[in-house]
Amino acid sequence: MNAVYKKDLKSAFTGMIGWVLCAFVVVVVGLYFTAICLQSGYADFSLVLYNTTFIFLVVVPLLTMRSIVEERRQKTDQLLLTSRASIAGIVWGKYLALVTVYAIPLAIVGICPLVMRAYGSVSLARSYAALLAFFLMGAAAIAIGLFMSSLTENQIIAAVCTFGSLLFLYLMPSIAGLISGSAAASLAAFTVLAALLALFLHWMTKSLVLPSAVFCVLEGGLAAVYFLKPAWLEGLFPKLLNSLALFGRFDNFVNGLFDISSLVYFVSVALLFVFFTCQGFEKRRWS
């Protein structure tokens, strides 16, 4: 893992991509910090981070699109897959290298609360709690981008898929507000999710038996609930979207709440998609 970590970290800063993305994050956060805190006088650094969450839509696709795709393009992935290194070690090395690149500009902007503290009364605990949540949220987004990069051999497709996934997560609270809370709407939405899960299982196993069985069981359960207890489905899907909204969970830290459940959620998403990436690598090794 250490060799892969050092190689990917060095690769990020050998070219321009690492330097440009770090500079982009620092400049964007610095501009919002100047406008919100220094000029407008708001002594709340979490507002700065809240208004800059859109940078994940730009930074994460560009940061992760080369991670695995470049290995395939240069055929070096075959060396990795046939080496003695474990699949988990390879994936974790790549993931931690990406997270390190992302952490560098956050360490720089972490000086901002100290600047405000020198000229006024600022809650450092609230500011750095928001910065911690911002970091973990970005780490979860990077894990999603790494997984998308493992699904294709084209950098552009990997970047577009990552951008589309993060955009959906970014707009998820708004989408939840547009969906009807009726039981029929929830049934239709969960049917689509069951179909997507079946397609994912088919991609992982190349079998029709397991995905078909899973879809039939899920759809049968949904149909039974719809006809027997339709009240259980009313408003369930919008609630699910709100609870799964990655960026929406940052609102609690802006409101001054240290939400441990949101931190656990960010870590869980990161671990889940790193696991998915490991399974994709394992599938590629044996195929």
Q: What is the pLDDT of residue 229?
A: 84
Q: What is the pLDDT of residue 212?
A: 87
Tokens standing for 193? 């999710």
b/e sequence 193-219, b meaning 16+ C-beta within 10 Å: ebeeebeebbeeeeeeeebeebbeebb
Residues with Cβ within 8 Å of residue 153, at least 6 apart in sequence: 69, 72, 73
Q: What is the pLDDT of residue 174?
A: 82
Q: What is the pLDDT of residue 28?
A: 94
pTM value is 0.88
Q: What is the pLDDT of residue 134?
A: 95
Residues 46/52/57/60 CA torsion (nearest 10 deg): -70
Q: What is the pLDDT of residue 226?
A: 85
Q: What is the pLDDT of residue 74?
A: 67
Amino acid at 211: P
- For residues 274 and 95, what is the distance between their CA atoms, to the nearest angstrom? 8
- For residues 245 and 215, what is the distance between their CA atoms, to the nearest angstrom? 24
For every one of its 287 residues, what pLDDT tens digit does the chain have, with 9 covering 90 and above? 787 888 888 888 887 888 999 999 999 999 999 998 888 878 888 899 999 999 999 999 999 988 877 666 666 666 666 667 687 888 898 899 999 999 999 999 999 888 888 877 788 888 999 999 999 999 999 999 999 888 887 888 888 999 999 999 898 888 877 777 788 888 888 888 888 888 877 877 777 888 888 889 988 888 888 888 888 888 888 888 888 888 888 988 888 888 899 999 999 999 999 998 888 777 666 65
- For residues 43 and 53, what is the distance between their CA atoms, to the nearest angstrom? 19
Alpha helices in 179-235 (DSSP H): 183-205, 209-228
DSSP letter for each residue of 97-152? HHHHHHHHHHHHHTTHHHHHHHHS---HHHHHHHHHHHHHHHHHHHHHHHHHHTT-
Q: What is the pLDDT of residue 275?
A: 92
Q: What is the pLDDT of residue 198?
A: 86
